[in-house]
Structure 1
Amino acid sequence: MTVGVTLSATGTGNQIDATVRLAEEAAAAGLRSAWFGQTFGADSPQLAAIVGREVPDLQVGTSAIPVFGRHPLIVSSQAQTAQAATHGRYHLGLALGTKHLTEAGFGIPFERPIARLREFLTALRQLTETGTADFHGELLTAGTPVSARVPGAEGGVPLLVAAMGPQALRASGELADGILPYLAGPKALAEHIVPAVTAAAEAAGRPAPRIVALVSGVVTDDVDAVRAKVTESLAFYEQIPSYARVIELSGGTRASDVAVIGDEEAIAAEVRRYRDAGATEVVFSGTDIAGEEARRRTWALLGELAAGSAG
């Protein structure tokens, strides 16, 4: 099982330079992968490509690009370019996104998300694996009057989906290489998420899917104060039905209930619980919420766990 972190450089300086410095620190700590979110700011595939070139010890990935407001041809170009730049170390994560951000940001209706996801994955797989596409769906069309191949990315790009609901898990098992569930605790993983996506992959004749569990967590001795901060920072997700459902399936009522907060022993035990629940990879997010000292302490532990998993 590999262990990684999400990287989000904040402040008034150059975000790209700051992110590279964080990635260098993550690699030095022994972490195996760095992942980048996608909202309306920095382009995550470009950021991953830059970091992957500058820090060759890290796998890099996007978690995750919403399928609304994008087109498979454009995302394929981004992903293949990142894959060539990193010599095969890039992983593309996709997401349904949310109704609010889709409609407020792009001015398009958030309709038929699962159908759109299926069509997007089908066209994107053709493009990333062959450099060509001839796809005509109900919602999307993707054709290649000229080649869409990027030399250096011939091995394709791993496609992962931030899937947690039954329909999204079924589509991901059939059409993607794995999933990127967030705020899904070990109970939800073991009892609902892993069985659903694995069964779909088996039925489609695909290999066992990767389960990249994104976990909000930090090493600290001041558990109550940090949990209060996490409760505030994650409250947004409680208003999104898919997240509210998976939090409940995990045994929680607030998003912070599934956050992993405690000393080294407690965090290591929780990582083992994710592994036992079926996670093939664990990626920690929000490790900077308690300050730099706690972040470095968290990364040091995660690096040790990554080294232990390789042994």
Structure 2
Amino acid sequence: MSIGVALSATEVDNQIDATVHLAREAAAAGLRSAWFGQRFGVDSPALAGIVGREVPGLQVGTSAIPIFGRHPLLVSSQAQTTQAATHGRYHLGLALGTKHLTEGGFGIPFERPVARLREFLVALRQLTETGTADFHGELITATTPLPAHVPGAEPGVPLLVAAMGPRALRVSGELADGILPYLAGPRVLAEHIVPAVTAAAEAAGRPAPRIVALVNGVVTDDVEGVREKVTEQMAIYEQIPSYTRVIELSGGRRASDVAVIGDERTVAAEVQRYRDAGATEVVFAGTDVAGDADRRRTWALLGELAG
């Protein structure tokens, strides 16, 4: 099973330089992939392209770009450029986003997100596989009066979706290559998420989907102190219905209840639980919450497990 980390360099003089440094450290520890979130700051596909060029041993991915406020033509250009820059090591993650950020940031009504996701994926798949599109949907139009292929980009950039709800999982199984569930513990993965997306893929005649489970976790001796920090940092997710649902179905009440925090034996056992639940890949996030020493300790364990 592939194991990676989500990288987020904060409180630094130069975020790009600092992220490349972290990526080199992650690769040296034996980790297989580095993933980058998308907010209103650094551009995630661009950062993935830079890191992929600087650290050739790593797969790189975006987790994940919200589809509202973006168009398949532009996202395809970003993805193909990064795919060419990394010689086929880029994985594009998409997300529905949230009502608060969509309407507050872009001034766009957060309406019919799953229908938009379906159309976005259909148009984007045409573009990344053929470099052309002639799609006329109810919500999205994407056509190519000029070629949209990036020479050097291998056809078919892997498309993943941060899907966890039943309708989004169905669309992702039918049209994407896999999913990026976050804050979804092994129980909800095994009982709800993996069966739903797998059944949708089978019904559509598609291969078994990738299940890239994003997990907040850290190896530490200060379990209670770290959990307190994680509780504070992750409280924002408890205001988003899609996350509260999977936290509850995972058996938790707070977002930090599904975080993996403990010594090497504890964390290794939890990684195995994710694998048993159907995760094909595990990506650890928030490994820096307890400081550099525990981050390096966490990465050393994950590198051993990946090997």
TM-score (norm. length: structure 2): 0.99
SS at match of 2:92: strand
- Could you tell me which residue of structure 1 aligns to residue 227 of structure 2? 227
Give the conservation status (yes or no) of the 8 Å contact 2:88–2:154: no
CA distance, structure 2, for counterparts of residue 88 and residue 39 of structure 1: 24
The answer for the alignment partner of 1:72 in structure 2 is 72
1:1-311 matched pairs, under 5 angstroms: 1-307=1-307
Q: Aligned-pair distance for 1:12? A: 3.5
Distance 2:156 2:144 in 1: 17
CA–CA distance in 1 between the matches of 2:154 and 2:20? 26
8 Å contact from structure 1 (residues 9, 15) kept in 2: yes
Q: CA deviation at 1:153?
A: 1.1
Residue identity matched to 2:125: R
Secondary structure of the residue that 1:295 maps to in structure 2?
helix
Task: Give me the whole-angstrom Cα distance separating, in 2, the residues matched to 1:264 and 1:251.
Answer: 23
CA contact (8 A) 1:80 1:156 kept: no
- Residue identity matched to 1:179: I
The CA distance in 1 between the partners of 2:291 and 2:120, in whole Å, is: 39
Q: Distance in 2 between matches of 1:144 and 1:12?
A: 41
Give % identity.
84
Amino acid at match of 2:234: L
Conserved 8 A contact 1:212-1:282: yes
The one-letter code of the counterpart of 1:115 is: A
Shift of 1:100: 0.4
Instruction: Report the alpha carbon displacement of residue 156 of structure 1 after superposing the two structures with TM.
Output: 1.8
Show CA shifts across 1:123-157 (max 9, x none).
00000000000001111100000100011113320
Check conservation: 1:73, 1:127, Cα contact below 8 A: yes
Task: Structure 2: give runs of 5+ residues left out of the alignment.
Answer: none
| 2:155 alignment partner, SS class | coil
Question: Which runs of no fewer than 5 residues in structure 1 stay unpaired?
Answer: none
SS at match of 2:189: helix
Residue by residue, what CA displacement relative to the aligned partner does 1:174-194 show, whole Å, maximum 9, x if unpaired? 000000000000000000000
Q: State the number of aligned residues.
A: 307
SS of corresponding position for 1:20: helix
Distance in 2, matches of 1:154 and 1:138, equals: 29
Asked if 2 retains the 8 angstrom alpha-carbon contact of 1:49 and 1:82, the reply is yes
Deviations along 1:25-77, one digit per CA (max 9) or x if unpaired, are 00000000000000000000000000000000000000000000000000000
Amino acid paired to 1:74? L
TM-score (norm 1): 0.98
Shift of 1:197: 0.0
Structure 1 runs of 4+ with >4 Å offset: none
SS at structure 1 position matched to 2:135: strand
SS at match of 2:304: helix
Aligned-partner Cα distance in 1 for 2:153–2:207: 21
- The residue identity in structure 2 corresponding to 1:253 is R
| Deviation by residue 1:220-267 (Cα, 9 ceiling, x = unmatched) | 011111101101111110110000000011011110010000000000
- Checking the alignment, whether the CA contact within 8 Å between 1:66 and 1:95 is kept in structure 2 is yes
2:12·2:18 contact (CA, 8 Å) conserved in 1? no
* AA matched with 2:71: H
Name the SS of the counterpart of 2:234 in structure 1.
helix
